[in-house]
């Protein structure tokens, strides 16, 4: 694949590269990063050819947005997305182990129309520009998100404040309901269309394909096990079950036979579906940015996908990338 090819989100005119940079890690996810390393990571992704960057106020309680804004100001030709549904207020984080660089602010859910507009203004100040806005994790606030937040986003798009409306979640069912409103240009789906979990094939992906809604896939490593399937690996941010680790290890062995790193197969697999336009990979350092770019560009023979299906590690009906033949 060409990871730096640009493709359009829906019919918006907004272009993203096939490989995008997920900016949660530079918010100090699990370990401090620092301003200098964060800027260097963005520079490395940019120099590799990445032109799609995704962040959120939730990531480091504004720290990811501040660092992204500082690193990207003055550049052109890229797309920047962030999220609404949480406001930042003064406080001390209840989960200090998740975000390792305290900012004196904490996120609180707010899917009201006023909350959406306020969060948009706050993020715009930190970032300098916003192209795409996602509703962020409305799982427990779905009625308010549907009735208030989503129309507010559509209003921002109509007014020209943003260019595309989206929603980002770790589940496909609610995203499918949101797509059916006809108000979304794209969605960000995390962890539900990977080598280990194709559950979105049952609802979201066919619905998006029918409606021309673009899908951005995140969480392609399922939080770690598809990057390095060791006994202590995590799956969806929890210790991976032995059966999950064993399945990932079996995939890794087949990949190795074809000279393909498991990471490369994990990054490229989602792009085999016609509705998927881009894959986001979290990058916290120049080294991780270089690795993601390299994995996205590894040539993968069609025989690998066939072998995965022959080993019952991938359903034969699952679409897979068609390059190279």
**pLDDT tens readout for residues 174-203:** 999 999 999 999 999 999 999 999 999 999
Residues 40-54: what's their mean pLDDT?
Answer: 98
Residue 237 annotated among the catalytic residues of the structure: no
pLDDT (mean) for 78-90: 97
Q: What is the DSSP letter of 29?
A: B
- Name the band, by pLDDT with cuts 50, 70 and 90, for residue 323: low
* Number of Cα atoms under 13 Å in the Cβ half of residue 243: 1
- pTM reported for the whole predicted model: 0.96
Cα distances (Å, whole numbers) of residue 280 to 51, 125, 210, 245: 11, 24, 23, 23
**How far is the C-alpha of 211 from the C-alpha of 206, rounded, in Å?**
9
| pLDDT tens-digit map of 92-150 | 876 667 899 989 999 999 999 999 999 999 999 999 999 999 999 999 999 999 999 99
Distance CA 93, CA 238 (A): 20
**Tens-place pLDDT, residues 285-319:** 999 999 999 999 999 999 999 999 999 999 999 99
CA distance 235 to 248: 10
- Residue pair 295/263 in contact by the 8 Å Cβ criterion: yes
Q: Which residues pair with 239 in a beta bridge?
A: 234
Which of 59, 120, 193, 221 is catalytic? The answer is 59
For position 98, what pLDDT does the model report? 87
pLDDT at 94: 64
Q: In the chain, what are the domains?
A: 6-224+264-302 (3.20.20.100)
């Amino acid at each position: 694949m060409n990871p730096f090819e640009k493709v359009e989100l829906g019919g918006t005119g907004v272009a993203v590269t096939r490989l995008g940079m997920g900016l949660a890690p530079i918010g100090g996810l699990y370990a401090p990063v620092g301003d200098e390393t964060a800027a260097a990571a963005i520079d490395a992704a940019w120099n590799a050819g990445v032109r799609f960057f995704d962040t959120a106020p939730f990531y480091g309680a504004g720290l990811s947005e501040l660092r992204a804004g500082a690193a990207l100001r003055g550049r052109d030709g890229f797309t920047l997305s962030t999220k609404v549904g949480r406001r930042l207020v003064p406080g001390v984080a209840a989960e200090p182990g998740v975000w390792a660089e305290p900012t004196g602010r904490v996120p609180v859910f707010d899917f009201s129309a006023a909350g959406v507009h306020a969060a948009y203004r706050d993020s715009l100040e930190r970032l300098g520009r916003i192209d795409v806005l996602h509703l962020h994790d409305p799982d427990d606030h779905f009625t308010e998100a549907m009735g208030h937040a989503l129309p507010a986003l559509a209003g921002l798009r109509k007014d020209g404040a943003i260019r595309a409306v989206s929603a980002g979640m770790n589940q496909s069912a609610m995203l499918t309901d949101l797509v059916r409103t006809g108000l979304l240009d794209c969605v960000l789906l995390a962890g539900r269309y990977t080598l280990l979990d194709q559950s979105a094939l049952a609802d979201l992906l066919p619905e998006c394909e029918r409606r021309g809604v673009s899908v951005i896939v995140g969480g392609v490593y399922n939080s770690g096990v598809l990057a390095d399937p060791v006994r202590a690996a995590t799956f969806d941010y929890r210790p991976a079950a032995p059966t999950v680790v064993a399945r990932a290890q079996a995939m890794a062995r087949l990949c190795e036979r074809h000279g393909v790193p498991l990471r490369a197969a994990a990054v490229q697999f989602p792009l085999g579906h016609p509705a998927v336009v881009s894959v986001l990979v979290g990058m916290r350092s120049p080294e991780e940015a270089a690795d993601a770019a390299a994995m996205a560009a590894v040539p993968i023979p069609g025989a690998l996908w066939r072998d995965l299906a022959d080993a019952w590690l991938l359903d034969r009906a699952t679409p897979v990338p068609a390059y190279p033949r």
